[in-house]
Amino acid sequence: NDPSLCTHLVYAFAGLGPDNKIKVLDPWNDLCDNYGKCGYDRFVKLREKNVNLKTLLAIGGWNEGSTKYSQMAASASKRKIFVDSVVALLKKHDFNGLDMDWEYPTQRGGAPEDQANFV
């Protein structure tokens, strides 16, 4: 566990809720609320051991599928809701950025327009 060996670390995973907002998938592990394990906080504190380290939160992954990301990306109003919620969560927990791990645009229930909407 030597964060001085890395430039970036990615915490996996958050998800996408039915309201198009980023969703903490494992609140007990990720948050400090209700005697949780404070995973987010402990993760970003690794920067204390490497001041140049960037900590990112990943959203998506295989288990999240593609359909809800496709539907969110297809709508400007849904994208705004998503982006606003992501920025708020990243700031609240002091992450440096987001890894959008949408697996996979245009596949697994996605739409042909996903590629353009993802960009």
Indicate which CATH number applies to the domain containing 76: 3.20.20.80
* Closest by Cα among 64, 51, 29, 61 to 96: 51
All residues at 6 or more sequence positions from 100 whose CB lies less than 8 Å from its CB, including other chains: 58, 59, 60, 118
Active site residues: 103
CA angle 71, 72, 73 (to 5 degrees): 95
State yes or no: pLDDT of 18 exceeds 80. yes
* Closest by Cα among 85, 97, 73, 96 to 22: 85
State yes or no: pLDDT of 118 exceeds 90. no
Residue 20 is part of which domain span? 3-118
Q: What is the domain count for the chain?
A: 1
Model confidence pLDDT, tens digit, residues 27-70: 999 999 999 999 999 999 999 999 999 999 999 999 999 999 99
pTM of structure:
0.92
